[in-house]
Amino acid sequence: MQRDADALHATGVTGVAVRLETSRRTLTARSGVGDLVTHRPVPNDGYLRLGSTTKTFVATVVLQLVGEKRISLDRTVEELLPGVVSGTGNDGRTITVRDLLQHTSGLSDYIYDVFPDPGARSYFADRWRAYQPEELVALAMRHKPDFPAGTRWAYSNTNYVLAGMIIKKITGHTWEQQVHERILRPLGLRHTDTPGTEPFLPRPHTANYQQFAVDGPMVDTTIPYRPFDSGADGSMTGTARDLNRFFTALADGRLLNPAELAAMRTTVPVPRDSGHPAGTRDGLGLFFTPLSCGGGYLGHGGSGFGYVIRAATTTDGRRTVTVSAHSRPADPRTAARQEDALRNLIDHALCRST
């Protein structure tokens, strides 16, 4: 595992951290530096931005509400949020809760509206701006849907902004409050939080760096980009220890009833050009990815300016790993090499007997 962490660092990632937990023991590996100024080491179990891994927490809350008969996966968005998804060919009457959680809604991804000019200037100019969920959905509604709901798959953060709004509509409480009450407190995840627009990570943490232009400098982006880092689609923070505990509990049935867990693990194919490994399938807030040794793993990733995080667990929850890479390059070929190294690390970690 240390060799794999070093291999990921060798592709140009400034800092790498890995935490693998099995039924027998816990293994950790670190490579690179915690920041490029002091060259301090990557901290053990430092705080992380979870990015889109937040979606798995949100999907779990929705499925708990399904198990309580307070909502159905077949309810439409229009029934739950009247008039919110409409205009420019968008029709909430045709989109179900299941479509939102499985990215089969066809809704446009709002992130292209809040960061239209991919450069450091835009990051610094707009990183403090915050949007309400309704505003983000309204931005997406200016665009035609990519396809009729339920006919194809395409990842869209707009889906989970809507899921967070639905949780509030059903429970009368924010998705953040529901995540705390239903998941974080019962599992004792004291180092996981829903900070919203709070920009600062607790210490210790590794600095995140984004290269906005090929051959350009590494820009410290540890401060998040609020327009797409503050909602139900990607705002949570936590540690690898807590994240492993969450995915283990999810896989072994401690968070969902059998019927809802089965629904979460019922998958659709992910297109080959989606950036996911071959054979990846998407469930409800949970991806299934094949392993080289047979079978596969369940998990979700997250990314933002300057970081990539992946959490993965075997289908029985007996081996769980979280990997964080704390810089992102501008060169697509370098990014592809880093992605390959990250995938190999996860595959090796979950396939080896420990």
Active site residues: 52
Decide if 52 contacts 157 (C-beta within 8 A): yes
In angstroms, the Cα distances linking 124 to 41, 110, 219, 328 are 27, 19, 10, 17
- Both structure tokens of 106: 């066809």
Q: Which two tokens stand for residue 302?
A: 């997250």
Work out the number of other CB atoms within 10 angstroms of the CB of residue 41: 15
Angle between helices 54-67 and 240-251 (to 10 degrees): 30
* C-beta separation of 194 from 234 below 8 A: no
Q: Are 140 and 110 in contact (CB under 8 A)?
A: yes
> Residue 45 is encoded by which pair of tokens?
């179990």
Helical spans, DSSP H, in the chain: 2-10, 54-67, 77-80, 97-102, 111-114, 120-126, 133-140, 158-171, 175-179, 185-187, 240-251, 258-264, 332-351
Return the structure tokens found at 224: 């998040």
Name the maximum alpha-carbon separation found in the chain: 55
What does each C-alpha distance from 102 to 65, 202, 239 come to in angstroms?
17, 32, 26
